[in-house]
Amino acid sequence: MMNSYIRSKGFRALINAAVFNGIGNSLFNIVFIIYAGSLPFKTLAVSLASFVTYLPQILNVVIGYYADGTHHKYLAMVAARLGQFGLFIGLAVLMLGSITIWTFLILLAINVISDCLGQFSNGLELPYFRHLVPNNELNAAMGLEVATQTTLQMIFQGIGAVGIVWLNYRYSLFGIINAVTFLAAAGVIWLNRAIFIGIDPLLAVNQVAETTPKKPPMKASLIMTGKLLWSKRPLVIVIISAFLVNTVACALDGLINLAILHNRALWLGNYGNSVAEVNICLSAGTVLGALIQQDGLARTNFLRLNGYVCLSLVGLAASYIFSNSLVLITIVSGLSGYLMGKVNPRVSAAFIKLIPDDQLGRSMGFVNMVALAGAPLGSGVFLTIANLGKSGLFSSWLIFGITSFLIAVASWICDARNWMATAK
């Protein structure tokens, strides 16, 4: 996998830019949660900061649609990262003044727009890989990019939590450091502009011939994809299951952040360290679950595995309700992450078996959109309950655990009835 990185200057530039981008995102995501926890309206602030995390992912299918249709992808890549740089300079300036709820909402909007620009830039990069990496090395090369970004996320969450303490909680200065990482990402692409400018005319979007069918509008494309998926019963079960699990699981980050915020017994020196430790353990478990395929769960089908994931979420809820042990919570978080890491490969396998090759990309994008559509619903409900009085957080975790258990039971009932035998 390192061969492509060493041999291909263009691929190396994309990976290096992704490194700077990943550092910027990972550093500030954890710092922004710490910052929200320091405000006078900290419970609401942490809830909102956790809630908006999933908005760029939900919009990914729309962002990807426009990235595919962009003709001058090199210029757009540089512009997107310069846009992120400008947004974070603005964020740093805002953080110098006193923060009201309205100022905080502007900061949230800056974070969401910046993440959307990052997603847009990632979508723009994809067509270049085909021209920079041989086909027989493409899987390994893409694996290197994913592994790099995931590893960076784990490492720099910890660095961010420690770094903001070293900087004596000067959040504005941290915002400037973040802005510089996006500027560096733009600089890496700009320094290698000759490579990307040379590839631009070869990209399919710039080679539309008269005989090539016109790309359908986004709405029509989504409707066509929805009809295709609805015709495959196993995939309908996968989509419904993913929607239900994401509705619950996507509230997890917010509930964890609030639980640690309001329980100093869980603090590892300070709030940020504890949040970073749990998040890193959850991420590490997810990576291990995806990488270790030959284990006791290798022959477990999607529905049964889905039930195990939900059961682990019940355990996570119980550990927060009944325990003040950060060690226990960290262990259960790692186990939950490990099981979650096994779900996506099963979903991908089901789609590869049942969807034609030329419709896989948009089908997966459609499913991601539908699955994550439950994220704001679940996060909104659970975080709203958590903000209702002194017992709100307890009630929210209790409802979270009960809901997770019911979804687990429903998954096992569907499995017992063999509802998706063809999507093992």
Cα 163 to Cα 168: distance, rounded to the nearest angstrom: 9
Architecture of domain 1-215: Up-down Bundle (1.20)
Confidence of residue 240 (pLDDT cuts 50, 70, 90): confident
pTM summary value: 0.68
Task: Please determine, for residue 423, whether its predicted confidence score (pLDDT) is greater than 50.
Answer: no
Residues contacting residue 406 through CB under 8 Å, at least 6 positions apart: none
Tokens describing residue 275: 């949040």
On average, the pLDDT of the chain sits at: 78
345-381 per-position pLDDT tens digit: 666 556 655 665 445 556 666 666 776 677 777 888 8
> Residue 209, SS3?
coil
Instruction: Delimit the CATH 1.20.1250.20 region(s) of the chain.
Output: 1-215, 216-424
Round the CA-based radius of gyration of the chain to a whole number and report it: 22
pLDDT at 205: 66
Tokens describing residue 334: 């790692």
Q: For the domain 216-424, what is the CATH code?
A: 1.20.1250.20
Q: Are 364 and 228 contacting, i.e. CB atoms less than 8 angstroms apart?
A: no
Count Cα atoms within 13 angstroms, Cβ side, for 328.
13
306-318 per-position pLDDT tens digit: 888 899 999 989 9
133-185 per-position pLDDT tens digit: 776 665 556 556 655 666 676 677 677 777 777 888 888 888 898 899 999 99
